[in-house]
Structure 1
Amino acid sequence: MIKLIWSLFTQHAIPSLLGLMYYFLLMVFLLFIYHYISYSMRRKDPSYQELFEKLDGFARPAILMFIMFLIFTYVAQNIEGFDQVLIKGGILSCVTIPLVYIYYSDPHRFLFL
């Protein structure tokens, strides 16, 4: 019985969690690019000048880390397994991303949004 539960866990839960992590990092990366572009539009404003310089110094390593993550996850999984990871992670992210948005969307509790 324990072997059956463990095999089901490794067969479905681990690829689902890996796919969820993949979609979450993709979402974080896209939000980073969005904020980077929005701050670059306000670059002429002196109040945003120091913040943009800090963000500009962080942008290149963040982009390189994300590209390396994409390459390593693609190489680590075979193509059929990678497709399964994306499908299972996409299904799991359809549930978790709205829940995270509902929890963190209150601007009074979380000032960084």
Structure 2
Amino acid sequence: MAEKAEHAGGMGLWYGLVAGIAFWGAHIAGMAAITPYVCHSGQMVWYHVLTFATLAPTAAALIPTWAAWRDEDASSGVRFLGGMGLLLTAIFGLAIMAEYVPVFIFDPCAA
């Protein structure tokens, strides 16, 4: 069981803690960066590709944080970081989805 508790606090937990923030930043910067290309070419699919490419690894970050939070053999610090990772990943995953909604409502190329 000691190996399981040690494994719960490994690199997966760190990935879970920082992935949401990192991929949200990549999404918001990427949306701004590709807008001129999308407006020039008319290929709105790149917004969808970028959102999926940032939302999928953000959602995957929920797995190690959930495992760390639910591991009863882990130290209280590991469980706390697991819970914080869940919270941060969920918040930034929702932020990515919230940034994606205007693509369907507004014309991003309107002057």
Query: Which band: TM-score by shorter chain?
Result: 0.3 to 0.5
Greater Rg over alpha carbons, structure: 1
Larger relative contact order, structure 1 or 2 (CA cutoff 8 Å, min sep 6)? 1
